[in-house]
Amino acid sequence: MEKNDRAYLKRLLETPSVTGSEVPVASLVRERLADTADEIATDVMGSVHATLKGTADGPSVMLAAHMDEIGLMVTYVSDDGFLSVSAVGGVDAAILPGMRVDVHTAKGPLRGVVGRKPIHLIEADERKKVTPISDLVIDLGMSAKKVKKRVRIGDVITFGVGFEQFGRGMAVSRAFDDKCGVWIATRVLEELKAQGGAPGDFIAAATVQEEIGTRGAVTTTYGVNPDVGLAFDVTHATDYPGISKSKYGDIRCGGGPVIARGPNINPVVFERLVAAAEAEGIPYQLEAEPAATGTDARSIQIAREGKACGLISVPLRYMHTPTEVVALSDLEDTVRLIVRFVKDLEADVSFVPGM
């Protein structure tokens, strides 16, 4: 990965964007593509749509990746200055005690810690129980007066960790789900531009509010109205202990992008994604999705009169934790795959199954 691209990925991952508060990341996307995209629009929901105009009459393709990350939200400030919180998205209460967090206020972030009684003061029968989020508090290390002056109800909170590379080609962050996808959508548009464009319009869509029901994908797909809608997200890697491959498939970090197959996926799009990977010599993996997926694809497919939809993912270990892990090679291979898929679309291609 080029140094400039890695720095952009780091900025995306470390910029707070809890669901409903995606503005800072949206600004990064607009800044990055300002001199590359032909048009950039932001809808009333906050999703960003960057368009590269087509060179011919090929079908328009939208690649959607969501900007939002899971987090917490302030629901109450006690008279002692401690914060009570609720989850925004799928937060595992078991991982929170003892964690450092950042509370994002109007005047900037405040470092806090998630407090819990030490083991010495916990009764034996309580030690094996997960403390509910509603019973946890955040300590800002400040007087109650200062806390109440800085913090407002509804302020959002992120895990207080950043991006690191480790091991051999691996990286860890709190927010690869799905800001690595925003990076990929950006890079696909840049690569298509560098290669002279695509037959039809290409739209890199950075969507909002996926973590609470793919809400941004609903409005984005309706507004953009592409011929083909690709969703990008992360999927569960199963290459570490304790995960059943017979139940969840054999998905490995470093094994290449994951192409989904099932009723949420247009069969023509699926076969063309596989063909693109094989034509480019890109390693790829298949994932069975027997129902509507938990990604933007579920909303893209049924927008308006229905859209030809595909889903590409990268394997991710430890999803929805502060230590989400990916292989950086999978990100780069995904960019290559999608660029080839888009460039190979003929003007007369039909996505009607069986026709």
Catalytic residue among 22, 69, 210, 324: 210
- Is 236 annotated in some ligand binding site? no
Cβ neighbours of residue 198 closer than 8 Å, sequence gap 6 or more: 52, 54, 55, 58, 61, 192, 342, 343, 345
**153 touches 74 (CB < 8 A):** yes
Q: Long-range contacts of range 129-132, CB-CB < 8 Å, 24 or more positions apart?
A: 130/93, 130/94, 131/93, 131/96, 131/97, 132/93
DSSP label at 236?
E
Q: Three-state secondary structure along 175-191?
A: CHHHHHHHHHHHHHHHH
Cβ neighbours of residue 148 closer than 8 Å, sequence gap 6 or more: 77, 81
Beta strand pairing call for 83-88 and 71-77:
antiparallel
- Is 233 annotated in some ligand binding site? yes
Structure-derived torsion over alpha carbons of residues 182, 188, 194, 196, reported in degrees to the nearest 10:
-130
What is the spatial distance between Cα 57 and Cα 142, in angstroms, rounded to a whole number? 61
Kindly state the tokens that stand for 341: 């898929």
| φ, ψ (nearest 5 deg) of residue 257 | -60, 155
SS3 (DSSP) at 216 = helix
What is the spatial distance between Cα 226 and Cα 100, in angstroms, rounded to a whole number? 42
- Is 211 annotated in some ligand binding site? yes
Which residues are registered as beta bridge partners of 100? Answer: 113
Active site residue 31: no
- Is 346 annotated in some ligand binding site? no
- Is 66 annotated in some ligand binding site? yes
**330 touches 235 (CB < 8 A):** no
| Nearest one of 263, 261, 256, 281 to 271, comparing CA atoms | 261
Taking the alpha carbons of 340, 193, 214, 307 in that order, is the dihedral positive or negative?
Answer: negative
Positions marked catalytic: 210
**Which residues define the annotated binding site for Zn(2+)?**
66, 177, 211, 233, 320
**Which residues define the annotated binding site?**
66, 177, 211, 233, 320
